[in-house]
Amino acid sequence: MYGQDSIPKQQLDTQLALVNQYEGTLKSDQAAIDNAKLQLVYCKITAPLTGRIGLRLVDQGNMVHATDATGLAVITQLQPIGRLQHRGGQHTAGSPKDAGRREVAGRRLGS
């Protein structure tokens, strides 16, 4: 169109600059996607305690956030640090050897 004198040179330059801007945005967005994929490769969630994984609270593919009120799974802790023993009106801490089972909500990915 510019060769036929249908549009002014300034409009051609403006449109070419806009095309270049959109191509730059496209490359930037692709870099963000590639970075997100790379971060997923390095993503690992570890539980704050040891035990057996039990009830899964989310399924694979669900969106989870750090601010979610529920955890990802329930971990049954087999050897807790201690437990309270009730002796005639007073509570005392027991030893780890005496401790029983308890369930703790942990954060671990289901497979």
Residue whose entry in the numeric block shows the structure tokens 């403006």: 14
pTM of the model: 0.39
Pair 102, 65 in one domain: yes
pLDDT in tens, 80-109: 666 656 565 554 554 444 444 443 444 444
Pair 72, 26 in one domain: no
**DSSP for 10-76, written as a single string:** HHHHHHHHHHHHHHHHHHHHHHHHHHHHHHHHT-----SS-SEEEEE-S-TT----TT-SS-SEEEE
Residue 111 lies in a domain: no
* CA 28/CA 24 separation, integer angstroms: 6
Pair 58, 91 in one domain: yes
Pair 26, 69 in one domain: no
